[in-house]
Chains A and B, each alone.
Chain A
Amino acid sequence: MEKIKITIDNTEVEVSKGATIYHAAKQIGIDIPVLCYLNLEHLNIENRPGGCRICVVEVEGRRNLAPSCSTECTPGMVVHTHNLRVMNARKTVLELILSDHPKECLVCSSSGQCDLQKLSQMMGIREIHAVENAEMSTYRKDFSPALRRDMDKCIMCRRCETICNDVQTVGALSAVNRGFMSVVAPAFEQDLVDSPCTFCGQCVAVCPTGALTPFDDTAKVIRALSDPSKTVIVQTAPAVRAALGEEFGLEPGTLVTGKMVAALRSLGFDKVFDTDFAADLTIMEEGTELLDRIGRYLSGEKDVKLPILTSCCPAWVNFFEEYYPDMLDIPSTARSPQQMFGAIAKNYYADLLKVKREDLVVVSVMPCLAKKYECQREEFSTNGNRDVDFSISTRELASLIKSCNINFDSLTEEEFDQPLGESTGAAVIFGATGGVIEAAVRTAYELFTGKKLEKIDFKELRGLDGIRMATVDFNGTPIHIGIAHQLGNARKLLDGIRSGMYNFHAIEIMACPGGCIGGAGQPLHHGHSDIIKARFDAIYREDSQKKIRKSHENPFIIKLYEEFLGHPLSEKSHHLLHTHYFDKHKK
């Protein structure tokens, strides 16, 4: 790669041709502040509209200040990042942005997390120059089951628009209107629920302010916990334990399973269970379904639908219901682990405890915002009582722990309760892209071949590339597997299948970058994609440390089938653990 030299703040730096001033400065430890710019390097996601103008620098010989995020270095360039002209411009522009932003930081749900707030502190803004009663751009607020939009706080960084259109290809959002009243919104500024939004929440994950925030049910959880007539149980998704620690200042990638369990118990949950248990159950059902379809396909049955697609990710389910209504018979009918857990809890565990369904409250802690929507889907309720009553996010759990003055760091590690707390390494890796299919392969291999799996790690299925393809040898039968994370990549795979370009047996799809570990309910990455990478590694670390690493060897799963379900795909399983999909356009 060709190298060029430039000078930044009197320091010479050598950079690759094509590098921006922002990156060149970073190389020598100069952190130019940015606001709209977002670069998730590990995931190939970039938002660079050059719109906020916070990152401007002076380039000698140029008439105007240059946005460092999108100005390429040229040989001999001389740059000043903090002279009076630059500082005055940045401060004035920031004041302008703040002059059109509500000053309710004290009660804003993004307070402490807000990039704009941080920037304002860093720049030492102490007053906002503008005429009295300067007009603010205001918009209708929009509450959906998963996220809320308060676009008065929007600063037009366009990150959400980029994510929704370029990365996820959902197309729910677009910049609308012009000038002072421009804002990112669904068509006709209608509610998100009336748009093709999948509730993946990735717009929330990248929003630098409080414009896009999760819909928060924590208050209802607290009320349930303090209601003596209710038995309140909680399930925690695999990705939560790999990220929760970040909210308490621990290094990204620190696993906090034991402390998390202790904290939940301390919060007053009657039982602390693990969604991982339900993940193992999912593998039993989905893996059996996979084998059933492959078996029938190999025996020559014509109308077998292949590939089978995973269905754990609710945003993904929403996506194919919206965009691939002609292919609704391809995904596995298995419910997601969250909903399997809910169904087993309300229909099996409630009986064990001898409590009425209505008096058992199931709370889930999820890395995900779409899960909030999923648990509200009608098909997952019985007589109006949901299988999963409330879903809260990793971040919401963290603030709940903090607000209950629990010192997370000093907690002694504890174990999950039984029977719904036992899980295998296969379940843990559900949290990362490729994990579900690897877990399925571990079980399907043994069930299909009748042989013991020697090499448990399927490294060929792992990684952070958006689309991955691999062939696994089932004792002479090649099984073709496709994996995609982020819905845009899923669309590419699906279109390829629709057009007959691809021939897969099984495909795993996760809506969020990196899988659930990059979910929108997780601690915010603030543009640092290495955090997602660290969580990714942590998940596989936990797997490798587990004694049991194959779902069908989970003793409590075996017991559940013996005592209650019978066998995978049994009638009871169908009733409780499987679902059906809807064409969104027919609703």
Chain B
Amino acid sequence: MAQFKMHLLVCGGTGCRASQSEIIVENLKSEIKNLGLENDAQVVITGCFGFCEKGPIVKIVPDNTFYTQVKPEDCAEIVREHILKGRKVKRLLYEDPETQKHIEDSKHMNFYQKQIRIALRNCGFIDPENIDEYIARDGYAALGNIITGMSPQEAIDIMKKSGLRGRGGGGFPTGIKWEIASKNKADQKYVVCNADEGDPGAFMDRSILEGDPHSVIEAMAICGYCIGATKGIVYIRAEYPLAIKRLKIAARQSRAYGLLGQDILGSGFSFDIELRYGAGAFVCGEETALIKSMEGLRGEPTVKPPFPAEKGYLGKPTNVNNVETFANVPAIFLKGAEWFSSIGTAKSKGTKVFALAGKINNVGLIEVPMGITLREVIFEIGGGIKDGKKFKAVQTGGPSGGCLTEKHLDTPIDFDNLIAAGSMMGSGGMIVMDEDDCMVSVAKFYLEFTVEESCGKCAPCRIGNKRLHEILEKICSGKGVEADIDYLKNLSRVIKDTALCGLGQTSPNPVLSTIECGACYEKCKFTAIHVQ
């Protein structure tokens, strides 16, 4: 990146591309050419900046100027004014909703100030289709250090010490998971990256793969070294064409650099990855179902134990982690377990990426330290509720989570606190609702989702969720009776207690947590007035 004076970073994430960011890139390039600035400025397509609300984003470094909602016709002005004359285009700068002042650079935006970016460290900074940019930011250094200078157990010990817990929802300690897989002897083991993000309203994994695919590949190779696997598989949603394309490019480049394949960096360690496509089944995010799907079968979960670490893909020990978990790994090895574990709460270390959406001013992708409060996320990073309405609740954890209200606003966010509050970390969807929204209908929305996505294997999930949904419909149509609430509660608890897999065991959470919220049900129990 060094030879240019200025870089124009344009978000190439799915959201911004949908608002013509590709045309913006073309226009910027042609204007630079028109003005003969080819040797001074370079246009780079990056991954997601996170601030999707104000997309498309154009960021100019080194001064970190942050232009929002750029239109193709604005490009000429940006190049002429900013690049050539050194004057910022004021009208395109981000305007603070409270002070109504233009903020000149991203470092001073509330949206970014409270964030700590580990998993997203490269998203929006590098060209994901260029391995050199990843390497320039210490990419593959962790892998190199480990495979040439560390035993697998030493590396696992670092992982354990870091306290990293699985970011896919369950929160199982990653180091321990790796250790179990490493101790199971087999002629072949597998590292699987779960990129079958299916939670409605969550797109963090996709953003990482689109913005920084190499970090995932590097982490998978590290994991392979630790557990003794030579094969990695990325199970990715077929609906993510851009992520698939960038992952393929990244793997090709890594192979060309000898960072994947036989005898990596002369260490004697060999590792390579391949891609498998999901086909639209949310339950395949559950690791045993994912393995079935990779084997070409219906993605139905199986009873655990045996865990994948003992008997996984093709019956071999298999370690499954999700994208965000992997994205943390290289950073942990570069900066040390102590650094990582210094961030976060007692039992939840590091950061978590959330997809912040709903009735909130700053929709986008954020990465915050564990232990941050919902209030900080919603009112500082998120910029508060849209159109000045009143906050009602925030739904976390998607279909496995629940609604948190006013009283939870100051609860520090971590795995255990969210469960205690009746919700879940889940994969990181965070949907903010205002006073107009009815939580019963949100619970119904999630139940509809679960009913549609239930695999049908176990009775509690297959039939129970259907019945929950029917009762919610009854209540929403104003025909509810007191006994319905008791029945909802009992049925929800039994489903949680008896369902076969994580999907079923958490599916009643949206119902239970909204009942806990109380007020909403009181209002809509016998009338239909909640439907705004």
Q: How far is the CB of B296 from chain A (nearest CB, A)?
A: 13
Which chain B residues border A54 with CB–CB below 8 Å? 459
B62 at the interface (CB under 8 A from A): no
- Taking a contact as CB atoms under 8 Å apart, the answer to whether B455 and A178 are in contact is yes
Whether A53 is near chain B, meaning CB under 8 Å from some CB there, is yes
- Which residues of B from 500 to 521 have beta carbons under 8 Å from A? 500, 505
27 sampled A-B residue pairs with Cβ under 8 A: A50-B302, A51-B457, A52-B458, A52-B459, A53-B459, A53-B500, A56-B497, A64-B496, A64-B499, A65-B497, A70-B303, A89-B498, A92-B491, A93-B498, A96-B460, A97-B459, A130-B467, A131-B467, A131-B470, A156-B462, A178-B453, A178-B455, A179-B456, A180-B454, A180-B463, A182-B455, A182-B457
- A54 CA to B500 CA in the complex, in Å? 12
| A99 within 8 A of partner (CB) | yes
Taking the complex as formed, is A115 at the interface, i.e. its CB lies under 8 A from any CB of chain B? no
A42-92 at interface with B (beta carbon < 8 Å): 49-54, 56, 64-65, 67, 70-72, 85, 88-89, 92
Which A residues lie at the B interface, using CB under 8 A?
49-54, 56, 64-65, 67, 70-72, 85, 88-89, 92-93, 96-97, 99-100, 129-131, 134-135, 155-156, 175, 177-182
A88-B494, A175-B300 given; name 20 further pairs at CB < 8 Å.
A50-B500, A51-B457, A51-B500, A52-B458, A53-B500, A54-B459, A65-B498, A85-B497, A93-B494, A96-B464, A96-B491, A97-B459, A129-B487, A130-B470, A131-B484, A156-B459, A178-B456, A179-B455, A180-B462, A180-B466
B451 within 8 A of A: yes
With a CB–CB cut-off of 8 A, which chain A residues contact B156?
none
- Known contacts A64-B497, A180-B456; is-contact A96 B467 (Cβ 8 Å): yes
Asked whether, in the complex, the Cβ of B303 is within 8 Å of the Cβ of A179, the reply is no
Q: Does B474 contact A (CB under 8 A)?
A: yes
Whether the Cβ atoms of A93 and B460 lie closer than 8 Å is yes
Task: State whether A97 and B463 are in contact (beta carbons under 8 Å apart), knowing that A85-B497, A88-B494 are contacts in the complex.
Answer: yes
Find out whether the CB atom of B490 lies under 8 angstroms from the CB atom of A88.
yes
Query: Interface centre among B458, B471, B490, by most A CB within 10 Å?
Result: B458
Whether B456 and A175, one on each chain, are in contact in the complex, defined by CB atoms closer than 8 angstroms, is yes
Residue on B with the closest CB to A178? B456
Q: Is the CB of B456 within 8 A of A156?
A: yes
* A-chain residues with CB within 8 Å of residue B45 when the two chains form the complex: none
3 tightest A-B CB contacts, nearest first: A182-B456, A50-B303, A179-B454
Residues on B with beta carbons closer than 8 Å to the beta carbon of A179:
451-456, 462
A408-B303 Cα distance, complex, nearest whole Å:
46
CB contact under 8 A between A56 and B454, given known A97-B459, A131-B471, A180-B466: no
* Cβ-neighbour of B458 out of A53, A99, A134, A175 (below 8 A): A53
Complex alpha-carbon distance, A64 and B458, angstroms:
14
B453, closest chain A residue (CB): A179
Distance in angstroms from A137 CB to nearest chain B CB is 9
For A54, give the chain B residue with the smallest CB separation: B459
B298 within 8 A of A: yes
Indicate whether A131 sits within 8 Å of B474 (C-beta atoms), given known contacts A53-B498, A97-B459: yes
Q: Is the CB of B454 within 8 A of A178?
A: yes
State A53–B494 Cα separation when bound (angstroms): 11
Q: CB of B388 within 8 A of chain A? A: no
CA of A51 to CA of B303, assembled, Å = 9
B residues in contact with A180, CB < 8 Å: 451, 454, 456, 462-463, 466
Docked pose: A174 CA to B487 CA in angstroms: 34
Chain A residues within 8 Å of B458, by CB: 50-53
Q: Tell me, in angstroms, the Cα distance from A177 to B453 when the chains sit together.
A: 11
Contact with A along B378-414 (1 / 0, CB 8 A): 0000000000000000000000000000000000000
Given the interface contacts A134-B470, A135-B466, A179-B452, does A156 sit within 8 Å of B457 by beta carbon?
yes
Q: List residues of chain B with CB within 8 A of the CB of A99.
A: 463, 467
In the assembled complex, the Cα of A93 lies from the Cα of B498 at a distance in Å of 8
Query: Nearest Cβ in chain A — how far from B300, in angstroms?
Result: 8
Query: A426 CB to closest chain B CB, in angstroms?
Result: 45
Chain A residues with CB under 8 A of B456: 156, 175, 177-182
Task: List, in ascending order, chain B residues with CB within 8 A of A71's CB.
Answer: 303
Residues of A within 8 A of B454 (CB): 178-180
Distance of B481 from chain A, by nearest CB (Å): 10
Are A96 and B490 in touch, CB under 8 angstroms?
no
Cβ-defined partner of A64 (8 Å) among B451, B452, B484, B498: B498
Determine the residue in chain A with the shortest Cβ distance to B454: A179
